[in-house]
A and B are shown apart, each in its own frame.
Chain A
């Protein structure tokens, strides 16, 4: 992993072994929104006869996906990340070159034996309709959301000691992951209860550990503890963004006034030289 959140292709190439069977990559990362180069990764796998699986849960409706061209063998999709119903997903399985997978759910032999069980027709229709709308609106919607994202980042980035996590260009416009140094993420979320944001991922919200994604980018634990993920979407307006910027400016300022780390930073103390009592 590089500092910008993109996979280091040279390191990936070096770590592929003769007995490597599968490479599995998230198309778009759920915490920092960066888009991996799945064409390049897929080509590396093809040359070596390795099966390539892509988790596209976060990318549908945000990044164009043409499976006729992409060197991808398996791709998973989820309906609810693209305004579809919860509890519905799909797996693309390439026929040529053929990928052989084994069923994990057995029974009546539904879906060509891949996954037995009665099909939830309403969920399937809901997912299909959500994806149809996403495809129709994606180009226009992405431009609109990119403008909002840029407006949000230009409002936040002029504050002191604020850092963007993940590459600015190679990311979906819907995500902005920001570290507000010297302010702890959970206390910040409590302070901005008018808006819904998240620190880390939903998968780890019950844990006190800092985000392993941000740690993998080389962020310090302190900055990882100080990060907030903003998500923009179909229903976000310019007024919402302006409100958010003002709210963050107020509350980050308030919390920094009560942060001993901010005080030390203002006094010119390098926090890395302090002997902390770990607990």
Chain B
């Protein structure tokens, strides 16, 4: 597979690999994809009280462009509000990384991972509001 320099850079020097505790306050976790399809992404965001994403972590099982797509979005979501993060589109990810057509699904998965992480954070927040 002929990859762009950006994909190779993110693959060889992935940003923000790791994990936050799922139950940690202010953390939202999104896991998308399936092992049978060859890609699973886990994206975690840490959100402060004003609703700004202050930090992000990922772990990905998948090809080079899946790893690069998830690494890129951990950089992009930092400093954004939840609503701003929700506007990140797969087309922007694919364009930034110059993904080959056969790998566009990796960028779709990365967009889905952001949405899943934000939804998980909001869900957990409203659940803790109700119990408080």
Contacts and interface: CB of A to CB of B under 8 A. Distances in A.
Interface in A198-230: 206, 208, 210, 220-222, 225
A279 B37 contact: yes
What is the predominant secondary structure among interface residues of chain B facing chain A? mixed
B33 A222 contact: no
A183 B61 CA distance: 6
A165 B108 CA distance: 32
Most chain A CB within 10 A, of B33, B35, B40, B42, is at B35
A67 interface: no
B35 A221 contact: yes
A261 to B, nearest CB: 5
Interface residues of B, number: 32
A190 B64 contact: yes
A260 B31 contact: yes
Interface stretch (A31-39, A111-119, A147-155, A270-278): A270-278
Contacts, number: 81
Contact of B59 (A221, A259, A276): A259
Nearest to A221: B36
Most chain B CB within 10 A, of A220, A263, A278, A279, is at A279
B25 interface: no
Contacts of B67: 187, 258
A186 B63 CA distance: 5
A176 to B, nearest CB: 22
Contact of A277 (B14, B34, B59, B64): B34
Contact of A260 (B11, B38, B41): B41
Interface of A: 182-184, 186-187, 190, 206, 208, 210, 220-222, 225, 257-263, 271, 276-279
Given A187-B64, A225-B38, 15 more contacts: A183-B61, A184-B39, A184-B61, A186-B63, A187-B11, A190-B64, A208-B102, A221-B38, A258-B59, A260-B59, A260-B61, A276-B35, A277-B112, A278-B37, A279-B109
